[in-house]
């Protein structure tokens, strides 16, 4: 069974930093592109970042570029999101998601999310 | 990159068919056959319902179908059931400098 378990969320002050993790199991992690998607309370989904299977390519939403860094450790089957210079606008439930394989595009498996709250 | 435009709400009676639209541009929906649709029940993670415009993942009911015309994609739910009541989001690959863009979301209500 494909599983994604996100962790690392919590309460952080404006300007602070946080690192999210996403532990993957049930599929060949090292062959799968991965992404982070967030959802502010009561709001819609927002794509945040994606990373290719070998970490060779990374992509970011304009709203986080320069502040967030996506990475992965294929030896640990784990995806990361390093978040710096956090503001209230970054408060959201952060989902990790597995990208479809091959040339298809979309997210076929989602974790349960980890909540990030930015507040003083 | 602006979000794709969806109607805020759509409703229908059990057994009816409803269609949710997803309007984009030639840089996303219109330019690529990479539109996907997600269903999200309250407090739950999103679930992939349609990918690459019209493909259904294994396990998704054939009551769900997707299509595209120009810069607008659509999700049709036929034989509406109570369990279909949820939020639905479209998403598309985009060449605008980011990678993916989501729609604004549509709340489906089964009357």
Q: Say if A40 is an interface residue toward chain B (CB within 8 Å).
A: no
Contact list in B for residue A47 (CB cut-off 8 A) is 91, 98-102
CB contact under 8 A, B3 and A47: no
Contacts of A21 (CB under 8 A, 6+ apart): A6, A7, A8, A78, A79, A80
Token reading at A17: 């930093």
The string of DSSP letters for A58-110 reads EEE-TTTTTTEEEEEETTTTEEEEEE-S--GGG-EEEEEEEEPSTT--SEEEE
Residue A38: pLDDT above 90?
yes
CB contact under 8 A, A110 and B46: yes
Contact list in A for residue B45 (CB cut-off 8 A) is 95, 110-113
Mean pLDDT over A45-69 rounds to 94
Confidence band, pLDDT 50/70/90 cuts, at residue B98:
confident
Token reading at A51: 């990373």
Tracing tokens 């690392």 back to the chain, one arrives at A8
Q: What is the pLDDT of residue B73?
A: 98
Mean pLDDT over A66-78 rounds to 97
CB contact under 8 A, A100 and B51: yes
Residue A47: pLDDT above 90?
yes
Q: What is the pLDDT of residue A32?
A: 95
Token reading at B63: 């009551």
CB contact under 8 A, B38 and A50: no
Taking alpha carbons only, the member of A55, A61, A67 closest to residue A29 is A55
Residue B14: pLDDT above 90?
yes
Residue A4: pLDDT above 90?
yes
Residue A16: pLDDT above 80?
yes
CB contact under 8 A, B52 and A95: no
Contact list in B for residue A61 (CB cut-off 8 A) is 1, 98
CB contact under 8 A, B51 and A35: no
Q: What is the pLDDT of residue B96?
A: 79
If you ran DSSP here, which 8-state letter would residue B52 be given? T
Contact list in A for residue B103 (CB cut-off 8 A) is 44
Contact list in B for residue A99 (CB cut-off 8 A) is none
Taking alpha carbons only, the member of B43, B17, B40, B15 closest to residue B91 is B40
Contacts of A84 (CB under 8 A, 6+ apart): A17, A67, A68, A69
Mean pLDDT over B100-104 rounds to 96
């Amino acid at each position: 069974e494909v599983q994604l378990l996100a962790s690392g969320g919590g309460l952080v002050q404006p300007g602070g930093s946080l690192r999210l993790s996403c532990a993957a199991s049930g599929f060949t992690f090292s062959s799968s592109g991965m992404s982070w998607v967030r959802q502010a309370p009561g709001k819609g989904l927002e794509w945040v970042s994606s990373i290719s299977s070998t970490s060779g390519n990374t992509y970011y939403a304009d709203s986080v570029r320069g502040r967030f860094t996506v990475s992965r450790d294929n030896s640990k089957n784990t995806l990361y999101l390093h978040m710096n210079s956090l503001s209230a606008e970054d408060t959201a439930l952060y989902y990790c998601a597995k990208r479809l394989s091959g040339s298809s595009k979309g997210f076929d498996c989602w974790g349960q999310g980890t909540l990030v709250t930015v507040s003083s | 990159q602006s979000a794709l435009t969806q109607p805020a709400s759509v409703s229908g009676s059990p057994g009816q068919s409803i269609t949710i639209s997803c309007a984009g541009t030639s840089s996303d929906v219109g330019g690529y056959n990479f539109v996907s649709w997600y269903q999200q029940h309250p407090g739950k993670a999103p679930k992939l319902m349609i990918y690459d415009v019209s493909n259904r993942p294994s396990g998704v009911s054939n009551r769900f179908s997707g299509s595209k015309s120009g810069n607008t994609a659509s999700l049709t739910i036929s034989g509406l059931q109570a369990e279909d009541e949820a939020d639905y989001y479209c998403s598309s690959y985009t060449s605008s400098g980011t990678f993916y863009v989501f729609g604004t979301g549509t709340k489906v209500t089964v009357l």
